[in-house]
Structure 1
Amino acid sequence: ECDKTVVVRRESGEFGFRIHGSRPVVVSAIEPDTPAETSGLEVGDIVISVNSVNVLEASHSEVVKLAHAGSDTLQLEVARTCNVLTPVVREPGAGSPLYSGYLWKLRTCDSGNNNRKWIERWFCLKRDNCLYYYKNDNESQPLGALMLANYTATRTPDSGRPYSFQVLRKGAAGLHLAADGEESATRWLAVVSHSIERNAQMDEWLDISKRNLKLSPSAVQQPDCFGYLMKLGEKWKSWKRRYCVLKDACLFFYKDGTSDSALGMVCLHGYRIQNSTAGGKRFAFEILPPEPRQRHFYFHTDTEMDKKRW
């Protein structure tokens, strides 16, 4: 059911908003100081129709194609769901936690160890490798969070409380925690340690990817795939031929195969790939981001075989 009709007039080649998903598509981002911002469009709006064409059953690429079909004015019928969707889109580490439960958190007052107090809090380890804690399991606003990069998790048998452990990093405030039983403590130590290890692996992967960014295409060791792709730019129909190298879930873009370094890269962890009809190109495909605020990519090749190779 349509809640509102908004009109967005293109300026400088752009409307100023991005969409996410398919059947239906949802407004996922609105750029500042653009026509979309002043039109009344809001993040979380479900797009029902574009210029009187119903798009509820249209794919993402079909809606994008329709929006860039030549008109400088878009009349959008939308269903307003901002009160429901916006918090989901914006909340860091949104989604189901990797692990959650009650733990005892040690609070030490400034006056010293005599004022140490254990307080029960609800803890959630989320997919962004952060450990959040809340007053209780009914709260949605965390009291605090710990990003687990470069931390260690170890038992603390001399804490004065059984089943206790600490999550610490040199030069940073940590957490001293305790479970209600041995099984719970062991499980928490395992999941937190695994998250710390995953953070370390990600840091190493990012360091290697940053180094590869400065290399020529031929200097990237053992690439997973390489060759020319047509890549869609910021503006619809602005296809550019780029030499691309795929290495360890990272796609590097070069002006051509003889470039000294990459123009840029995109880290593809969590992305999905699917066929596309973008720009009416026969051998097109699109790469869909795991989060709506991340960028959507379109490519096409010259042959079906090359498309399958990529």
Structure 2
Amino acid sequence: MTVGSDIARCPNTPRPACRGYLHKRTQSGLIKGWRRRWFVLTHDCCLYYYRHKRDEGKGRALLGVKLEGAEVGADVSLGKPFVFKCRPQSGNRVFFFCAMSNQEMKWLEAMEKAVLPITQQKHVWVDVTLHNSSLPPLAVKSPECLGLLHKMDKSRDMWVQHYCILKDGCLSLYGIYLQGYQVREQPYGSKKSTIELKPPCDEFKTFYLCAENPNENKWIIALRASIKKWLPLHQALQDYMSRLPEETRM
């Protein structure tokens, strides 16, 4: 079993929060009892399982369970040690899992964190973004957009030039997390074309940016695409799990 994001090894890709073998109790099919399966708890609070470790990444999981809002806890009703259960928020099914040792009960701790609402979690992408923001600009792997932008400094009423990097929903120079922001092009002062980053509420600041070339729209396209990475996450998980055929959920 491995736990953690392992940012140092691959700084731009969050590693699953937890992965390894567990025994899952089944009451379907011809053979009832405990089956050994390979489980992956991803950074987006979803638990997937496969028949074997080698199946991860090569095909569809046997099942994906969204953990946010689920009931998770240890269980002694089955008379086995190291057993814990999970009741997802949607549906009536209860999952029972059995670890191999007390050390592997860290699975329970990881799942208990995953059931918290997203607003109460320290999202692993935040760790990755903080790591990226500490790197020299050219060390950030696969940026979504980079280059010179002018930012309106209202305190001095002037445009200030900066070298900016956009990666995973964050404009790193300013530390702006873009979840919920709206991006639109509009005139501002003497500039005919500027980029307005409008926050989801008045508590946050509205930013005005201007590219070197007023006719260049790559920043607007990149900013909108980066924001969309965050917004449809929960809907994507629901859609994925709803497509799984019932007969594969063993």
So what's the TM-score if we normalise by structure 2?
A: 0.46
Bigger RCO of structures 1 and 2 (CA < 8 A, at least 6 apart): 2
**In terms of Rg, which structure is larger?**
1
